[in-house]
Structure 1
Amino acid sequence: MKYLLSVLFGAISYGVLSTIVVLAYGQGYQLGEVVGTQLLTGFILAWMLAFYTKQREQRKARTAPNAISSVTQAAAAAKALASKLTWKSRVLLMLSGMPTAITGLLYYHSLRYIPASLAIILLFQFTWISVLIQAFSKRQRPKGIMMLALIVLFGGTLLAAGIMEDGAAQFNWIGIIFGLLSAVSYSLFILFSGKAVPAVHPAYRSAWMITGGLLLVFILFPPMFLFNGLIWGQLLVFGFLLGLFGAFIPPVLFAIGVPHIGEGMAGVLGAAELPVAVTMSALILNEHVSMLQWVGVAIVLMGILLPELKRFKGRSQRTMAA
């Protein structure tokens, strides 16, 4: 249960980000300042965790009994080798962390043009985009339950976005495009991040990945807020909240919970981000979300759940047969 709750709270943390960004925009802050302070906060917190993890590992090594078996020594040596980072591995992790920074830039920029409740729905299109990317890379068409899930997701998106009620003409297409691009970027992040030096401790992986994202953002948006005094105002509060809930808490909680519950269940629990973001938009930003849109949100969640329910049913049947 604690691992399930870990992933669930990580997803909920992601759900509050869009509301914080809109509030920051309302105070006059710009995209580079918002994303820059978020990643800077996440960078500091991630490296603090990595340093703490290293110190804890060193304490365990010093307090370990001297007389240990050769098997234990070999296991410890293998673990140390797996956790050792070469510069090639560091660069690979930094490159793997850049798509998440790009996702933040695209997603937050879409919030300039469209409501937060719509932006999060567009970001969640990564579910079917990921399926298409994998199908294209493996040259296999989605079949069966996956095709049904894609159809359900598409129909739910039309309802949740309000297109069925108000038509497509009311929406700012610049925001729509950036929202969909953020979904593509997030799909690529999911595809590459899990394959980048998986043997390394999650604390070190997260620290180097967020370092890559921070470097990219600072190249695209030079951090003038560090020198003009802007960071010592409300920007610091917004940046800290975004860094805490977006760049630090979710990766740590996912690293704790996902290995124990599996990626499929993690994907299901991760869908909690969608209703949380829409609810926050309605309650705090006073965005109008109609009953039909809430139905669309529920349908989108159903589309996300369908493939995992199918796999769960298959596992249950195999267990009963055994």
Structure 2
Amino acid sequence: MKYRLAVLVGAICYGILSTIVVKAYDQGYSLGEVVGSQLFTGFLMSWALVYVIQWRERRKKQSHISNPDSVKTPTVKVTWKMRLILMAAGTPQAITGLLYYESLRYIPNSLAILLLFQFTWMGVLIHAIGQRKRPDGIMLLTLVILFGGTLLAAGVVQQGVDNFNWTGVMLGLLAAVSYSLFIVFSGKAVPSVHPAYRSGWMITGGMLLVFILFPPHFLVNGLLLENLLIFGILLGFFGAFLPPVLFAIGVPHIGEGMTSILGASELPVAVMLSAIVLHEDVSLLQWVGVVLVLLGVALPEVFKMMRRRPVQA
């Protein structure tokens, strides 16, 4: 239960990010300042965690000198090649943030999170292409439910396609593509390294990319000492630091299927905050779409559990 709770809390953290970003935009901050401050504070938090882990390991070694076999020391030495691989694997996460946060300038928060959530079927498509294997009937049914739920939740049925800002829609879909690639790369990038070290180097790679695209003037012009620091800490903690740690703790114990189900809690949290905090109009039909999307995410795992259940005579 504690591992499921860890993944659930991590998903909820992701669900509140877009509301914080919209509030930061209302204060006049730019895309580079928002994403840059998020990754900078997340970078500091991640490496602070690494330092704490190293300090605890040193304490263990000092207190168990008489019994060296009882000390659990890292068996994998992190080389610079591994570090570069992890830094490269972290860049899609930064690109996702840039695309997703920029889409919030053009479309409502509730629509942006739904577009980002298309990573669910995009991940299936990427996996099918990589494995050269056609999705089965259950997966195809899931994709249909996800697509239909998205149309309802996005308000396409009510508003029609002519009333949408297609720049924001394209940015949201591209963010979903980038996030799908991040999931693929992060799962395969040096899995033998300790999760805290992996997270630290991946955030470092993403931060350097953002700083190249958007030079961090806020670090020297005093802007970080204003309200931007508050937004940076909130986004860094709930986006760049805490969820990766919680997912690293929980996912290995509950599996990717249950992670997808619990991770879907990100969607209703984001839509709910859009309605309550940002006062966006979310209709009953849109909530029906949200429920369909959640059903589509959970459906494959439900079928798996039904197949595994022993048949009683």
Mark the CA change 1:68 to 1:35 in structure 2 (over 3 Å): closer, same or farther.
closer
User: In structure 2, which of residues 234, 237, 241 is the aligned counterpart of residue 244 of structure 1?
Assistant: 237
Q: Equivalents in 2 of 1:238, 1:80: separation in Å? A: 35
Q: Does 1:308 align with 2:291?
A: no
Q: Equivalents in 2 of 1:272, 1:67: separation in Å? A: 45
% identity of equivalent residues: 64
Q: Equivalents in 2 of 1:129, 1:286: separation in Å? A: 30
User: In structure 1, which of residues 270, 274, 281 is the aligned counterpart of residue 263 of structure 2?
Assistant: 270
Q: Equivalents in 2 of 1:269, 1:61: separation in Å? A: 38
User: In structure 1, which of residues 161, 171, 177 is the aligned counterpart of residue 170 of structure 2?
Assistant: 177
User: In structure 2, which of residues 75, 84, 87 is the aligned counterpart of residue 81 of structure 1?
Assistant: 75
Q: Equivalents in 1 of 2:250, 2:132: separation in Å? A: 32
Once the two structures are TM-superposed, the CA of residue 248 in structure 1 deviates from its matched residue by 0.8
Find the counterpart in structure 2 of residue 5 from structure 1. Answer: 5
Find the counterpart in structure 2 of residue 47 from structure 1. Answer: 47
Alignment deviations for residues 138-181 of structure 1 (CA, whole Å, 9 cap, x no partner): 11111111010000000000000000111011110000000000
Once the two structures are TM-superposed, the CA of residue 65 in structure 1 deviates from its matched residue by 5.3
Letter in 2 for 1:42: G
**Any stretches of 5+ residues in structure 2 without a counterpart?**
none
Q: Equivalents in 2 of 1:267, 1:64: separation in Å? A: 41
User: In structure 2, which of residues 188, 198, 214 is the aligned counterpart of residue 195 of structure 1?
Assistant: 188
Alignment deviations for residues 209-265 of structure 1 (CA, whole Å, 9 cap, x no partner): 000000000000000111111111111111110001001110111111111111211
Q: Equivalents in 2 of 1:190, 1:64: separation in Å? A: 39
Q: Secondary structure at the match of 1:317?
A: coil
- Aligned pairs (5 A) from 1:1-322: 1-64=1-64, 66-67=66-67, 80-82=74-76, 84-317=77-310
TM-score (norm 1): 0.94
Q: Equivalents in 2 of 1:80, 1:245: separation in Å? A: 28
Greater mean deviation of Cα atoms: 132-141 or 38-47: 132-141
CA contact (8 A) 2:61 2:68 kept: no
Mark the CA change 1:30 to 1:67 in structure 2 (over 3 Å): closer, same or farther.
closer
Q: Equivalents in 1 of 2:190, 2:60: separation in Å? A: 24
Q: Secondary structure at the match of 2:75?
A: helix
Alignment deviations for residues 47-68 of structure 1 (CA, whole Å, 9 cap, x no partner): 0001101111121122225346
Q: Secondary structure at the match of 2:192?
A: coil
Q: Secondary structure at the match of 2:106?
A: coil
Alignment deviations for residues 4-31 of structure 1 (CA, whole Å, 9 cap, x no partner): 1111011001100000000110111100
Q: Equivalents in 1 of 2:131, 2:252: separation in Å? A: 25
Q: Secondary structure at the match of 2:262?
A: helix
Letter in 2 for 1:6: A
Mark the CA change 1:312 to 1:237 in structure 2 (over 3 Å): closer, same or farther.
same
Letter in 2 for 1:2: K
Q: Secondary structure at the match of 2:310?
A: helix
Aligned length: 313
Letter in 1 for 2:310: Q
TM-score (norm 2): 0.97
Letter in 1 for 2:64: A
Q: Secondary structure at the match of 1:186?
A: helix
CA contact (8 A) 2:15 2:270 kept: yes
Q: Equivalents in 1 of 2:239, 2:78: separation in Å? A: 25
Letter in 2 for 1:287: E
**Any stretches of 5+ residues in structure 1 without a counterpart?**
none
Alignment deviations for residues 45-100 of structure 1 (CA, whole Å, 9 cap, x no partner): 0000011011111211222253466xx79xx5xx6332x20000000000001100
Q: Secondary structure at the match of 1:169?
A: helix
